[in-house]
Each structure stands twice: as structure tokens, then as C-alpha cells.
Amino acid sequence: MTERNRPEQQVYANYTPEDFKVWKTLFNRQYELIEKHASKDYIIALEKIGFTAERIPDFQEVNIRLKNLTGWQLTTVPCISPADKFFNLLSKKTFTATCWLRNFSELDYIEEPDMFHDVFGHAPLLSNPDYVTFFKAMGDIAMKNIHNPQLIIMLQRLYWFTIEFGLVLDSGEIKFYGAGILSSMSETKHALNPESTKKAYNVSEIMQHDFRTDIIQEEYYVIDSFAQLSDSIADIEKEVLKTLT
């Protein structure tokens, strides 16, 4: 697949030898960091989902595993989905994922998410009950307020600082679980650097915290566990209610 090819469906036979080499290169170099610094829950999830360096994931196989584990599914999209479509699918236990891969010149940086980010970064934790409870709740809350742009922005901020760039306290150490960190070597190293700013998870603060998509993150939020995410759904609903009143 070339840089400009953005298929709407995964056709496994269309992957080229370069695609497999890119997947293997990215997988192996990230896995070295993941073994030491990722949440143990992500490592367990990666094993459950069956991803390896040798084989690009087949979405049909991934969906069978996810359906048996949590009832979630992947659906293929060519690029980033608009907020209404994205949150609507989350409310239906479905995550949008691209099926194309970056090329070797883009190993360290890519402007838009490819399947290494979407699938390697996101799909494994769709097997974690607390994670997907939080994820679906975000979709449910968004769909109740989809015509309120301010609230959708607040939920996008929450998504950004948890699902994309979240950290977790794991056996007394700060580990990462956010897909934007899991799939990026530069973000991984920065997030774990003692000089980067790390804050305790705070729904109210996060929902007011702007972010940029074109830079390494300046601040990260640390959860105590994935249970804290699911337990915070009531706090999210309170913040939404405050905004509406």
C-alpha cells in the first residue's frame, strides 16, 4: 500500500512485503519499550488479542477475539472520522480503525493515524472491561449532547488525555497505556522522562484542558487503575450537567 492509498475496507491480500516489514519494525522497537514501561494490563491485552511482529492483524480475526472478550468490534475507515460518527460508533461498542500503514520514511512521525497507531495502540485494550466501560460511556454521553459543540470539545479533551496519552500507576511505577504513547517511540521516551509534567487524573481539570495534536505532549494525567476510569463516569456526567446549567 502506498502513502496515498487510504482503503475503506481491509483487503489482506493487498498488503505488500514493505507493509509487513514496516509493521515488524514498528512492533519490535515499540515492544522493547512496552515490556519495561507499558501498563501490565496492556501487555496482558496484547497477548489476549494475539498480535505479533510477524503478521499484520487481520480485522476479521481481531473482531472474533474481541466479540468473545468484551463484545467490541473494529470497523474500517480511510481516515479520522468526524466526531458525530466516531462517538456514535463508540456508543455501539465499535472503534474506527484505518487499515493502511505508513512507509519507512514515516517511521518516526506521521501526520494522520495509520493502523499501527489505531490497531497496535488501541485494539488490545478493547479487551479490558473497565477500559471499554469508560470508552462506551464517553460515546453515550457524547450522543446525548452531540449538538452541543462545547461539550463535544470537552469530551475530546478527556479522550485525548486518557485514551490517547494516558499514564497509569502500576505497582508504584508510572507506566503508559495511551495509544499515542504506545505507538510512538518519541512520545514514549518523553512521557517517561522525569522532566515531563505528570498530574493526577482529574475529570474537571482535563475537560477544560486544551491540547495540540502536532507536538509532543507537555502534560500527562496519571490514573490509579483502569477501574478509576470506569468509576469516573459519574464525575464526567456531573461536569456535563454543570455546563448545561
Provide the CATH number for the domain around residue 192.
1.10.800.10
3 domain-assigned: no
The model carries a pTM of 0.93
The pLDDT of residue 84: 94
Structural domain containing residue 46: 12-244
The pLDDT of residue 4: 52
7 domain-assigned: no
Tell me how far apart the alpha carbons of residues 67 and 126 are, in angstroms, rounded to a whole number: 10
SS3 100: coil
- Yes or no: say if 133 and 119 are a contact pair by the CB < 8 Å rule: no
pLDDT below 70 — which residues of the chain? Answer: 1-4
Q: How many domains in the chain? A: 1
The pLDDT of residue 54: 97
How many other C-beta atoms lie within 10 A of the C-beta of residue 183?
Answer: 23
SS3 78: coil
5 domain-assigned: no
Segment 65-84, tens digit of pLDDT? 999 999 999 999 988 889 99
Tell me how far apart the alpha carbons of residues 87 and 96 are, in angstroms, rounded to a whole number: 10
Quote the distance between the C-alpha of residue 195 and its chain's center: 24
Segment 213-237, tens digit of pLDDT? 888 998 999 999 999 999 999 999 9
The pLDDT of residue 105: 84
83 domain-assigned: yes
6 domain-assigned: no
Helix axes 149-159, 83-91, angle to 10 degrees: 70
DSSP 4: T
The pLDDT of residue 1: 42
201 domain-assigned: yes
Instruction: State percent of the chain over pLDDT 70.
Output: 98
- Yes or no: say if 206 and 153 are a contact pair by the CB < 8 Å rule: no
